[in-house]
Amino acid sequence: MRTSAPAVVFDETAGVLAVPARSAVAARLADYLTLTKPRISLLVLLTVSAGYVLGSTDGWHVAPLARALFGIALVAASSSAFNQLLERDSDALMRRTRNRPLPAGRLTPAEVTVFGLVTGLLGLAWLALVVNAATAILSAVTFALYVVVYTPLKRRTSLGTAVGAIPGAIPPVLGWAASGAPLDTGAFSLFAILFLWQFPHFLAIAWIYRDQYRQAGLRMLPARGQTPRITGLTAVGYALALVPLSLFPAAFGLAGNVYLVTALVLSMAYCAAAIWFAIDESNSAARNLLWTSLVYLPVLLATLVWDHFSLLS
């Protein structure tokens, strides 16, 4: 059965078409949700969860994990909001981002600033008071690196991608710290995997949208006049480095042979996608590399968590 759209009526006093209040509120809430970059935030929370479970040596519980996820989600929302606040001018110049709430004019900079301050401060206070100090401090460092360092650096140098990979790799460490475990080689192995995984992922996105990034004045690696295939070869280099690093969790006793074989197969597939991109250097090859990266990480982490529990049982 087909449902009708919300009624739009003519307001004779104002002389304009008026949208029902319920629809306006829903649209406004949707804009605030967009500020949080929900798809990226979901991936962040999944990696936080993996880190928490792997760090919980005496078994994990849903309630403490939920408390940690709540605080980290608030800080992540704040980071995304301030990122969009600082990049609203460049977002307006790119087709893929010009319909975001700020460049489209649906939210004002003041509203986004208040949203970012409230979520950030509330999230850090929650983590400090309800979770632990280590998680709160690491979350504050992640926020600072992403908003204060990485975001403005994107306009100055393509090396900003390397800086941005640091806060991008910290989420599983946040989960590890939230579990109360010391930050040891296990936490480092998770950080290292995410750090290297991001580069082929970022480079594929940067290649696909290279013209829009260039128009917006953002300095990404696929730069005008660069040596041919440098973007693809750079992706190959990071994907190759990820092969041995992806085996670290098994070497450090976090997982067994099932993870070892899975990590090797996934990493080789990631390398193959990067090599294809280096050879072809086309949008289709870049999209294949991007989708491979999006399959790689959740499957790798899910296998790691499952095999970790298999060892403990």
Residues counted in the chain:
313
Beta-ladder partners of 9: 18
- Determine contact, residues 149/163, Cβ cutoff 8 Å: yes
Please state, in angstroms and as integers, the Cα–Cα distance from residue 28 to each residue in 5, 25, 31, 92, 217, following that order: 17, 5, 5, 19, 29
Residue 259 sits at the vertex; the CA angle it makes with 256 and 285, to the nearest 5 degrees, is: 160
Specify the CATH number for 31-183; select among 1.10.357.140, 3.30.70.1170, 1.10.3720.10, 3.40.190.10. 1.10.357.140
Rounded to whole angstroms, the Cα distance separating 95 from 80 reads 19
- Determine contact, residues 195/242, Cβ cutoff 8 Å: no
Rounded to whole angstroms, the Cα distance separating 161 from 140 reads 20
Rounded to whole angstroms, the Cα distance separating 30 from 104 reads 14
pLDDT of residue 227: 57
138: CB partners within 8 A, 6+ apart:
170, 173, 174, 177
Rounded to whole angstroms, the Cα distance separating 179 from 51 reads 8
* pLDDT lower than 70: segments of the chain: 1-22, 158, 216, 218-228, 313
Domain ranges across the chain: 31-183, 185-313
pLDDT digits (tens, 9 = 90+) for 116-161: 999 999 999 999 999 999 999 999 999 999 999 988 887 777 677 7
Whether the model clears a pTM of 0.75, i.e. scores above it, the answer is yes
- Determine contact, residues 248/300, Cβ cutoff 8 Å: no
pLDDT digits (tens, 9 = 90+) for 222-265: 555 455 678 889 999 999 999 999 999 999 989 999 999 999 99
